[in-house]
């Protein structure tokens, strides 16, 4: 009976959509688009036959989403299907806001914990702290649930409430908190201010709505506070981008009216656009330093690329990510959407900074970076040579900080995190974010804390020695060198106590960052990091030396190797 009933079920659920698709095809495509029409018809027929004949029941929605995702996967990673359930996530990317409790969470063992409550938002106001374990949400156990699962439950309509059962280190038993959701707005600028009373600093985390206005306001505040402002640092490190127009607005603050900032080019000429500055600049002469790293992408690269091409400021740090693709979000039926790559963008010199060529894949589907041999030279406004095909190369390269495997182990095992949680519970206050340091007393407390903890690790030298053994065994040389190998392995075996001393400075930095976050949130972490940040130190050095600054922009400066 089940098999007899299936065709009638299909008539209701599948034949009607197939008929609609057929009608749309006949109305929308000309004879020149026969291949499109043919393949859509094949797809609709296949979908129908699967539903009618497959041995088990099929979840039509899941099957269709997998098919769509697989199809889009052959393009680029930025062209994606957005189901109705994920619409709010994509609104966050453009508006920077969502309805929820306002906290970062992460998975730890079988539960999710609060890792960083946002200052002044519901989780913080209700008393939730970093380290709190979420046992239940609205009476439902969270055990085994993913971060995405819990995040989707914590988010919701502003004004609605949610009850969470919390387990906290130091408390005798779990307790409940009822939290009223609010409209949570993530800040484009978590911190701005003066460095040494003469250099303005603006940390820009994203390019959501009004980012340009916020940067302008932060800049004007710096000018108001200092009568001898020598320059401005705009920190775009880790900024993955956002709205193209906001990038144009930020460049407009420091450049004249009617300057080309970025061009977008698609396969249709009528969709090609030039984005120029609309207003006179707020300050067209103040020295600028733009900080970038491998996490600076998209709109960050528009700003840094335009500033570099117009010889308007110095770019400092590491090569940026290399995302020169422009996306648009298109509405689909049933409140779904398609985020689709519609163009590539080009900064004023004419170069495209897209790092990976998704249009030309190998037979196995792999994509590769543009080789140096295919990169083209372009010139800035004054004539400096710059290159396409791989992000923005900084004018002044600074080697990023690297950390030992010991430090990674202490972080991944939550030992730095847990110590900060205990320290916060035992100390009601600490000095200001600018002045707090990890004293010898705090360091000794940390060493005592980890004595009984498991945090083993493998050094890079030990890893390479193990690789040597594997190769030697494969090539049948190991028996001849086994004694030497064992001796070398013994000599190279890491000593935890010795490594704690060797890598003390970097571990103290991580401890300091985590502890300050408990008291002063994200803003405090930024303030604390400023005085020892190598890129900021280099930026201040350049902005305080007018001759050096000018020599970089006019092309007479001889580049140093990254330090």
DSSP SS3 for 37: helix
**CA 375, CA 430: separation in Å to the nearest integer?**
52
Pair of tokens at residue 22: 């057929």
Selection from 515, 290, 361 nearest residue 424 by Cα: 515
The DSSP letter of residue 169 is: T
**Other C-beta atoms within 10 Å of 45: how many?**
11
Choose, from 298, 300, 320, 528, the residue flagged as catalytic: 298
**CA 419, CA 404: separation in Å to the nearest integer?**
19
Say what the pLDDT of residue 366 is: 63
Pair of tokens at residue 443: 């360091």
For the chain, give every domain's residue range. Answer: 2-58, 97-185, 191-394, 405-457+495-543, 460-492
- Asked if 519 contacts 430 with a C-beta cutoff of 8 angstroms, the reply is yes
The DSSP letter of residue 32 is: G
| CA distance readout (Å), 35 to 24, 160, 360, 424, 458 | 15, 50, 21, 65, 55
Say what the pLDDT of residue 5 is: 43
Dihedral sign, CA of 152, 155, 160, 164?
Answer: positive
309 is catalytic: yes
Say what the pLDDT of residue 12 is: 40
**CA 518, CA 130: separation in Å to the nearest integer?**
7
Q: Name the β-bridge partners of 106.
A: 113
Choose, from 230, 319, 323, 525, the residue flagged as catalytic: 323
Q: Name the β-bridge partners of 162.
A: 179
Could you say which residues of the chain have pLDDT below 70?
1-32, 360-373, 492-494, 559-563
Say what the pLDDT of residue 369 is: 65
Say what the pLDDT of residue 32 is: 57
Class of the 191-394 domain?
alpha beta
Choose, from 76, 116, 309, 499, the residue flagged as catalytic: 309
End-to-end CA distance of the chain: 76
Selection from 213, 80, 83, 184 nearest residue 124 by Cα: 184
304 is catalytic: no
The model's pTM: 0.84
**CA 481, CA 489: separation in Å to the nearest integer?**
12
Say what the pLDDT of residue 224 is: 96
Say what the pLDDT of residue 371 is: 67
Selection from 212, 217, 220, 233 nearest residue 299 by Cα: 212
Say what the pLDDT of residue 2 is: 41
As a whole-number percent, the residues of the chain with pLDDT over 70 amount to 90
418 is catalytic: no
Tens-place pLDDT, residues 231-254: 999 999 999 999 999 999 999 999
> What fold is seen in the domain 97-185?
Pdz3 Domain (2.30.42)
């Amino acid at each position: 009976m089940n098999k007899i009933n299936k065709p009638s079920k299909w008539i209701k659920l599948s034949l009607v959509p197939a008929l609609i698709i057929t009608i749309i095809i006949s109305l929308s495509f000309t004879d020149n688009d026969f291949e499109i029409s043919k393949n859509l018809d094949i797809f609709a027929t296949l979908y129908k036959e699967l539903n009618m004949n497959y041995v088990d029941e099929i979840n039509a929605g899941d099957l269709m989403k997998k098919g769509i995702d697989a199809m889009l996967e052959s393009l680029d990673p930025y062209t994606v299907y957005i189901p109705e359930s994920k619409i709010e996530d994509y609104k966050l990317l453009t508006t920077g806001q969502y309805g929820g409790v306002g906290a970062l969470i992460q998975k730890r063992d079988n539960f999710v914990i609060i890792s960083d409550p946002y200052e002044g938002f519901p989780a913080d106001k209700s008393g939730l702290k970093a380290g709190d374990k979420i046992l239940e949400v609205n009476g439902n156990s969270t055990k085994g649930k993913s971060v995405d699962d819990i995040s989707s439950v914590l988010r919701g309509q502003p004004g609605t409430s949610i009850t969470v059962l919390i387990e906290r280190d130091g408390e005798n038993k779990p307790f409940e908190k009822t939290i009223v959701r609010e409209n949570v707005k993530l800040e484009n600028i978590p911190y701005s201010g003066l460095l040494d009373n003469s250099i303005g600093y603006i940390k820009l985390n994203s390019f959501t709505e009004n980012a340009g206005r916020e940067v302008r306001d932060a800049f004007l505040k710096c000018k108001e506070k200092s009568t001898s402002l020598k320059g401005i640092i705009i920190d775009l490190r880790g900024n993955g981008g956002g709205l193209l127009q906001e990038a144009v607005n930020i460049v407009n603050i420091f450049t004249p009216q009617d300057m080309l900032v970025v061009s977008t080019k698609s396969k249709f000429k009528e969709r090609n656009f030039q984005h120029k500055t609309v207003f006179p600049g707020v300050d067209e002469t103040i020295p600028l330093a733009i900080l970038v790293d491998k996490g600076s992408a998209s709109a960050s690269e528009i700003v840094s690329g335009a500033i570099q091409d117009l010889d308007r400021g110095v770019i400092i740090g590491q090569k940026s990510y290399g995302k020169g693709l422009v996306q648009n979000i298109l509405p689909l039926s049933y409140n779904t959407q398609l985020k689709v790559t519609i163009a590539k963008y080009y900064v004023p010199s004419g170069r495209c900074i897209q790092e990976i060529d998704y249009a030309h894949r190998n037979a196995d589907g792999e994509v590769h970076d543009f080789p140096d041999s295919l990169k083209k030279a372009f010139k800035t406004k004054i004539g400096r040579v710059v290159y396409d095909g791989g992000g923005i190369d900084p004018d002044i390269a600074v080697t990023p900080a690297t950390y030992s495997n010991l430090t990674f182990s202490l972080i991944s095992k939550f030992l730095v995190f847990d110590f900060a949680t205990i320290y916060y519970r035992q100390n009601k206050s600490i000095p200001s974010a600018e002045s707090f340091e990890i004293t010898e007393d705090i360091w000794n407390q940390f060493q005592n804390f980890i004595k009984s903890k498991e945090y083993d690790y493998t050094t890079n030298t030990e890893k390479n020695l193990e690789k040597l053994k594997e190769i030697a065994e494969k090539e049948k040389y190991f028996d001849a060198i086994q004694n030497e190998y064992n001796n070398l392995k013994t000599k190279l075996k890491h000593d935890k106590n010795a490594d704690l001393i060797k890598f003390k400075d970097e571990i103290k930095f991580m401890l300091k960052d985590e502890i300050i976050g408990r008291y002063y949130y994200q803003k405090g972490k930024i303030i604390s990091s400023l005085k020892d940040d190598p890129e900021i130190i280099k930026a201040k050095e350049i902005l305080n030396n007018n001759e050096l600054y000018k020599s970089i922009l006019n092309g007479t400066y001889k580049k140093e190797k990254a330090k």
